[in-house]
Amino acid sequence: MAKTRVHQPSRSLAIDSCTIRLTEIFGRATRSILGFFLMMVLCNGVHYLLRPFSQPRITSDTIVGLVVGNFVRKQLDISTIKTLRYIVDFGMVCYMFVLGLEVDPYVLFKAPTRDAKVAYAGLISTLILACSIIPFISYAKSKEISFILSLSTVLSSTASPVLTRLITSLKIGKSDIGRLVIAAGMHSDFISTLLICVGYLFCKCQETRISVMKGFQLGILLLIQAVLTAKVSPVFMNWVNNENPEGKPMKGPHLVLAVAFMAFLCCCPTVFGYNPILSAFLAGTFLPREGRVSRWAIGKINYLLTTVFYPIFFFWMGVESKLTDFEPGQIMTWVRLMLLFAIATIGKVVGTVIAGAILGFHWPESVALGLLLTMKGHFHIYLAIAAKTAGKITTSTSMVMVIVIFFTVVHAPKVVECIIQRARKRTPTHRMALQLLDPSSELKILLCIHGPQNTPAAINIMEISRGTANPGVVVYVTDMIELTDEIASTLVQGEGVDSVTVTHTGVTQMREQVTSAVQSYVDENGEGITLRRMLALSTFNSMAQDICILAEELMGALIILPFHKSQRGDGSLSEGQAAFRYVNRKVLRHAPCSVGILVDRGLGSVEKISRSYVSQNVAVIFIGGKDDREALAYAGRVARHPGVKLSVIRFLVDADAENAARRAGTYRISVAEQEDEMRQDDECFAYFYERHVAGGHVAYVEKHLASSSETYSTLKSLEGQYALIIVGRGGKVNSVLTFGMNDWQQCPELGPIGDILSGSEFSVRTSVLIIHQHNLKGELDGLDDDFSIM
């Protein structure tokens, strides 16, 4: 009996249909993934271009979103736009949940602090101004009082996440005005968002025309959510935190339970029609902020927002903001734009100036506070687009709001720059570098020693550093002592908080021995020397930090540390203590002033340096770079000592060798940077030459060299001629004369020249002082980041 295949054509068509459908799905997914990465690349690229202007990331993201979104919006279908909206809604739920976690709701029940008063003043003044002007301008399609109040509240709010990130990135977060503006911004953001949450409840009742009882029930539900979150969640969160101590990975079941619990709290009011974004904010507000679970949630969600959500959010913003509907030819478009910006800016500034006058602030700082508190962010952009989507406003008005939000952000870096400039004028700063010191001012040196064995060399350093009796030198002789358990048990707490007395017999005897030696020297020969005794008693891990803090408090210009190796009887250097080498390296990285490392190879055993005749020969080697310029500045002090014959040896690069080196590509720095360094070297040396060499007080020798091998040979020829050689550490200078020396250094902290001069192949009778200049351009270019200006 013959068989027939009746359904074969239908089956083939089904397979072809599935293949086509899968191809469409994979094609759409591929385009979406490529588009996402394109947005990331463009956002990062534009942000990099705007970095010199200190613009926050939201500025570049807004520009890229508007351009890319409008460019590709015609290629998107309705389903893609809906999917984007769902993603954005979920992202905003996470955003508002974290925002709620970071605020403290209980500030409402406390006496208003300074930041609260500033926030209240700016918020109220902006609300009053907005409510007085907005009804007369056609922002909405219908003049509803709910829209007027909502827009006024949005204009009076502050995007605290954006503001906090900007203040922190611009390095003024530790200052008094930085702390105040961050706290005021968070307070303003919390109050305004809370008003929106309450206002949404009334708007929901009005729009849906539900009964008063239903609205009352929804309000009771929100109250129950707040009470449940505030009272029950701490018990649950504490249980999870106790079950997952710090330092151990969180258990999966506990993590799932915590996430489910937080999601449940966020979703409860949405069952009855409340907005999920505002519900997430209320849930986050009353959840405990402390604990491992909350920190984990904040960290993970912020990472998700930064890496994934923001590029999608700004792309969606560009898609929804059709530039062709902006209506730039309409005069009312610009009137609405200027008025919104004026209300947001003037309202905040007037409020903060009034609050500042009451609190005693200077008016420029009050104006700066108001300008910074005008900043808007992601939630405000979302509300502007959402109002257009809901049919409340036109696309033109929505675009106006987005542009106003953009301009409330771009001016903030300039405001911070003005704050820093005013702080520099009003706050006395100390630029701790020898080059910047007035030659007629006294030199402050933090002279560190390990014990009595370093005392003779320390005394001779004190002697040659003082130069002439006027202006003299202030020397803080500091003992570097490791804090052991034995010594810690003998510490006695004094009356002050930081007052501690060391009663350990070994430590007290050692310090008395050092004090007796240096005090005897000062009493007999110490004209122009002011002696102070200090102590750096701490573990090796924190000793460098204590030394840096001490130098900063004493406003010292130079820290001199002993080399970690000491000289044996045969002249060679011992292996030394690695812990002190670690301290030296750490001080070099973090010191607030210049640092010198003294390699004592006989300086402590030389005869007394006379002030009536020349008794010691000292040399300074100058190649170039900021460290060598600092060494030359110190040598200028030494040159004034009548018992020291100073010689300056300048190593110059042969012109042909320099060109050859450039052709070989051995320079790692740019030509412009190299020329700037050479210019500074010439200016510094010309000043030194005119002041010291031209008058015959200092000998001058030039060495024209072609390579690092000739540098090594020249250094070897100096063997035994000088009791002390002063050199710069070298920093990042990549000169032909030192090229390749870094590859075989034994002690990189000494630099290439210092390493050679202190090596075993060099003279056992020549001590070396290696000087390193700290980075003069600190976080705020010479201004402490915790400055006070209010």
**What are the tens digits of pLDDT across the range 672-693?**
677 778 888 888 888 888 888 8
Kindly calculate the radius of gyration of the chain based on its CA atoms and give it in whole angstroms: 35
Tokens linked to 237: 């969160």
Query: Which among 240, 258, 260, 404 has a CA at the least distance from the CA of 321?
Result: 404
Q: What is the pLDDT of residue 494?
A: 54
> To 5 degrees, how large is the angle CA 782–CA 787–CA 790?
135
Query: How many beta carbons lie within 10 A of that of residue 605, not counting itself?
Result: 13
Q: Which range marks the domain in which residue 524 is found?
A: 434-485+503-772
SS3 549: helix
| DSSP class of 634 | H
Using CA atoms, how far residue 86 sits from 89, 312, 477, in Å, is: 5, 11, 68
Residues 407 and 522 reside in one and the same domain: no
Using CA atoms, how far residue 290 sits from 196, 217, 256, 504, in Å, is: 26, 32, 19, 42
Rounded Cα gap, residues 339 and 337, in angstroms: 6
pLDDT class of 250 with cuts at 50, 70, 90: confident
CA-CA-CA-CA torsion sign (27, 28, 31, 32): negative
**What are the tens digits of pLDDT across the range 27-81?**
777 877 888 888 889 988 898 888 888 888 999 999 999 999 888 888 888 888 8
Tokens 């961050």 map to which residue? 182
| 788 in any annotated domain | no
Q: How many domains does the structure of the chain reveal? A: 2
* Percent of the residues in the chain that have a pLDDT greater than 90, as a whole number: 22
Instruction: Kindly give the interhelix angle for 233-243 and 212-231, rounded to the nearest 10 degrees.
Output: 30
Highest mean pLDDT among 264-268, 669-673, 737-741: 264-268
Q: What is the pLDDT of residue 496?
A: 44
Which whole number is the average pLDDT over 438-451? 84
Residues 415 and 519 reside in one and the same domain: no
**What are the tens digits of pLDDT across the range 494-522?**
554 445 677 778 888 899 999 998 898 88
| 14 in any annotated domain | no
Average pLDDT taken over every residue of the chain: 82
| 4 in any annotated domain | no
**Rounded to a whole number, what is the largest CA-CA distance in the chain?**
133
Final residue belonging to a domain, choices 425, 456, 471: 425
Residues 441 and 398 reside in one and the same domain: no
Residues 6 or more apart whose Cβ sits within 8 Å of residue 265: 225, 228, 229, 233, 283, 287
Tokens linked to 328: 């730039």
Which whole number is the average pLDDT over 334-357? 92
Higher per-residue confidence, 663 vs 723: 723
Give the CATH number of the domain where residue 628 resides: 3.40.50.12370
| 491 in any annotated domain | no
Higher per-residue confidence, 196 vs 471: 196
Which whole number is the average pLDDT over 475-488? 87
pLDDT class of 644 with cuts at 50, 70, 90: confident
Query: How many beta carbons lie within 10 A of that of residue 296, not counting itself?
Result: 17
Query: How many beta carbons lie within 10 A of that of residue 539, not counting itself?
Result: 12
Cβ atoms of 731 and 631 within 8 Å: the answer is no
Q: What is the pLDDT of residue 469?
A: 66
Which whole number is the average pLDDT over 83-100? 91
Query: Which among 447, 369, 378 has a CA at the least distance from the CA of 176?
Result: 369
Judged against a pLDDT cut of 80, whether residue 285 lies above it is answered with: yes
Helices (H), 75-144: 78-101, 114-133
Tokens 């100058």 map to which residue? 622
pLDDT class of 786 with cuts at 50, 70, 90: low
pLDDT class of 738 with cuts at 50, 70, 90: confident
Q: What is the pLDDT of residue 404?
A: 92
Higher per-residue confidence, 408 vs 139: 408
Q: What is the pLDDT of residue 696?
A: 80
Residues 417 and 553 reside in one and the same domain: no
Query: How many beta carbons lie within 10 A of that of residue 507, not counting itself?
Result: 19
SS3 597: strand
Residues 393 and 481 reside in one and the same domain: no
| 299 in any annotated domain | yes
Rounded Cα gap, residues 577 and 557, in angstroms: 27
Q: What is the pLDDT of residue 230?
A: 80
pTM given for the model: 0.64
**What are the tens digits of pLDDT across the range 373-388?**
999 999 999 999 988 8
**What are the tens digits of pLDDT across the range 539-590?**
888 888 889 888 888 888 899 999 988 887 776 777 778 888 999 999 988 8
**What are the tens digits of pLDDT across the range 168-212?**
888 888 888 889 999 999 999 999 999 998 888 777 666 555 556
Tell me which of 175-179, 240-244, 405-409, 545-549 is least confident.
240-244
User: How far apart are the two ends of the chain, measured CA to CA in Å?
Assistant: 103
Rounded Cα gap, residues 151 and 203, in angstroms: 13
Rounded Cα gap, residues 751 and 729, in angstroms: 4
Burial 210-223 (b: 16+ CB within 10 A, else e): eeeeebeebbebbe
Residues 209 and 340 reside in one and the same domain: yes
Cβ atoms of 381 and 317 within 8 Å: the answer is yes
Judged against a pLDDT cut of 90, whether residue 272 lies above it is answered with: no
| 780 in any annotated domain | no
Residues 660 and 612 reside in one and the same domain: yes
Tokens linked to 783: 């201004």
E strands within 484-613?
Answer: 491-493, 500-502, 529-538, 558-562, 594-599
Tokens linked to 39: 């947005």
E strands within 563-625?
Answer: 594-599, 616-622
Q: What is the pLDDT of residue 340?
A: 92
Rounded Cα gap, residues 456 and 461, in angstroms: 9
* Percent of the residues in the chain that have a pLDDT greater than 70, as a whole number: 87
Rounded Cα gap, residues 161 and 385, in angstroms: 20
Tokens 């605290």 map to which residue? 160
Higher per-residue confidence, 488 vs 86: 86
Q: What is the pLDDT of residue 351?
A: 92
Which whole number is the average pLDDT over 477-500? 73
Final residue belonging to a domain, choices 389, 408, 425: 425
| DSSP class of 573 | B
Residues 409 and 440 reside in one and the same domain: no
Q: Tell me which H or E stretch contains 702.
A: strand 699-705
Residues 452 and 350 reside in one and the same domain: no
Tokens 């687009």 map to which residue? 385
Higher per-residue confidence, 109 vs 367: 367
Q: What is the pLDDT of residue 15?
A: 67
Using CA atoms, how far residue 501 sits from 490, 546, 549, 690, in Å, is: 8, 17, 19, 50
Residues 102 and 43 reside in one and the same domain: yes
| 9 in any annotated domain | no
Query: Which among 91, 27, 164 has a CA at the least distance from the CA of 311?
Result: 91
| DSSP class of 620 | E
Beta bridge partners of 768: 599, 725
Final residue belonging to a domain, choices 402, 425, 448: 425
Q: What is the pLDDT of residue 662?
A: 44
Higher per-residue confidence, 762 vs 133: 133
| DSSP class of 73 | G
Q: What is the pLDDT of residue 447?
A: 93
Residues 6 or more apart whose Cβ sits within 8 Å of residue 466: 443, 472, 473, 528, 529, 637, 641
Q: What is the pLDDT of residue 407?
A: 93
| 576 in any annotated domain | yes
Residues 444 and 568 reside in one and the same domain: yes
Using CA atoms, how far residue 436 sits from 119, 431, 497, 738, in Å, is: 42, 7, 35, 27
Give the CATH number of the domain where residue 348 resides: 1.20.1530.20
| DSSP class of 210 | -
Residues 354 and 465 reside in one and the same domain: no
Query: Which among 129, 179, 182 has a CA at the least distance from the CA of 153?
Result: 129
Q: What is the pLDDT of residue 660?
A: 46
Which whole number is the average pLDDT over 322-350? 88
